[in-house]
Amino acid sequence: GENVEQHPSTLSVQEGDSAVIKCTYSDSASNYFPWYKQELGKGPQLIIDIRSNVGEKKDQRIAVTLNKTAKHFSLHITETQPEDSAVYFCAATSNAGGTSYGKLTFGQGTILTVHP
Amino acid sequence: DGGITQSPKYLFRKEGQNVTLSCEQNLNHDAMYWYRQDPGQGLRLIYYSQIVNDFQKGDIAEGYSVSREKKESFPLTVTSAQKNPTAFYLCASSPRQGSSYNSPLHFGNGTRLTVT
């Protein structure tokens, strides 16, 4: 099955700096890679996703890059703000059918702290 | 407002008792999922259901049971056979996954279960 590794486990930055979180995946059939943000006591919320037919996607201060050859993808947050402080999860899945159909495999999470 | 409602937010039980966690969605989504979250381990899939009256085991189904009698409801029972039931439980839903696309998951705000 799929295995997703996420680094770093904690990340501390100053307000205005950039933050980068990296994930690697093992299943070359995976073709959908969402990123979730989880605030304390709440469920994860989708912030951006990318499919395997594109290499980069951007939404305001957030961007995701995908390298299919190396099987890794990254989340980039620019001009960080204190409200960006949360736990971030990457995930991967394949729509290849069978028992993995629609199942997301999550990374271990990154605790991002943005200091004012 | 459409969304996923998990109740209760906090649940306390004695060891040896079964407990059922509620999950209701009014998003008209076909698929529903249960994840377990432990510190430093990301989210792990317990059970998922693509359609009413059908469900499949996830990666850590032992000690859990589910039912899907209605499209909007997917309750999870944590049985006394689950060795380490204390955790944060997240319910999610999505439109039915297709053969050529994946849809993001929408999460509830979770139930924190403590078993003593």
Considering only CB atoms, B56 lies closest to which of A95, A99, A107, namely A99
Q: Per-residue pLDDT averaged across A29-58, rounded?
A: 92
pLDDT for residue A31 is more than 70: yes
Looking at chain B, which residue has its C-alpha nearest residue A48?
A: B104
The amino acid at A81? Q
A40 min Cα distance to partner chain B (Å): 10
Quick: pLDDT tens for B32-85. Answer: 999 999 987 789 999 999 889 999 999 899 999 999 999 999 999 999 889 999
Closest Cα partner for B44 from A33, A8, A39, A3?
Answer: A3
Q: Per-residue pLDDT averaged across B85-110, rounded?
A: 84
